[in-house]
Amino acid sequence: MIFVSDLFFSYDGEKELFGGLSFSLDSPGTLAFLGPSGCGKSTLMGLLLGELSPKKGRVVCSPAPVPLFQEDRLFPHLSLRKNLLLPLHDIDPKIAEKRVLEALDRVGLLSEADKKASDCSGGMKRRASLARALAFLPESGGILLLDEPFAGVDDGNKQKILSYLNGLQKKHTICLITHDHQDAAFLNAKNIYLGGR
């Protein structure tokens, strides 16, 4: 469940963002946050993750969201497989391995599982980060926060991932931060425009 009510936020001395934004989603589906650069899309992600506190209003996300950050945030010295396995330390290793390989397959990186993250291209790292989020997501009822998930991803893989997300949103809540209206339309998302529009 995501519940945001009367949201105001500002960084020290800067202009206020969101102007009392309110929205909620209590069943699986997709919310798309759209708007120009600097309108606060990534700030909203920080608020949903609890990394930032609103100046005014309420933000409730339950269960804790699984984020895909704008930066890849992979351990460069580890293989993609090992990067994905790290968060799954508290489940059976065989099941964890299966989930990791499935997630890598969904983003078209199964053949690159043992490649070091530092040796991967920007697009591959992006897809690997997405795979990590997918592997970490619970079986159902999770919240997936995706900040510009397709930056640097080629069209073929993007379509494949979008199709997978389309199925995933039947069991999970997806928050998609994007510039691309077509991605939001593909997922039949509830659009939320930021930046006063």
- CA distance readout (Å), 63 to 28, 49, 84, 137: 13, 11, 21, 11
Minimum CB–partner distance for residue 168 and other proteins (Å): 18
Binding-residue total with other proteins (CB under 8 A): 18
The full 3-state SS of 43-58, as one line of letters, equals HHHHHHHCCCCCCEEE
Question: Binder to other proteins among 3, 8, 69, 186 (CB under 8 A)?
Answer: 69
Identity of the residue, 34 or 45, whose beta carbon is nearer to other proteins in the bound complex: 45
**Interface mask toward other proteins for 143-162; x: CB under 8 A:** --------------------
Residues 85-114 that bind other proteins (CB under 8 A): 86-87, 89-90
* Residue-by-residue DSSP string for 104-163: HHHTT-GGGTTSBGGGS-HHHHHHHHHHHHHHHS-SSS-EEEEESTTTT--HHHHHHHHH
Residues that bind other proteins (CB under 8 A): 49, 51, 64-67, 69, 71, 73, 75, 77-78, 86-87, 89-90, 132, 136
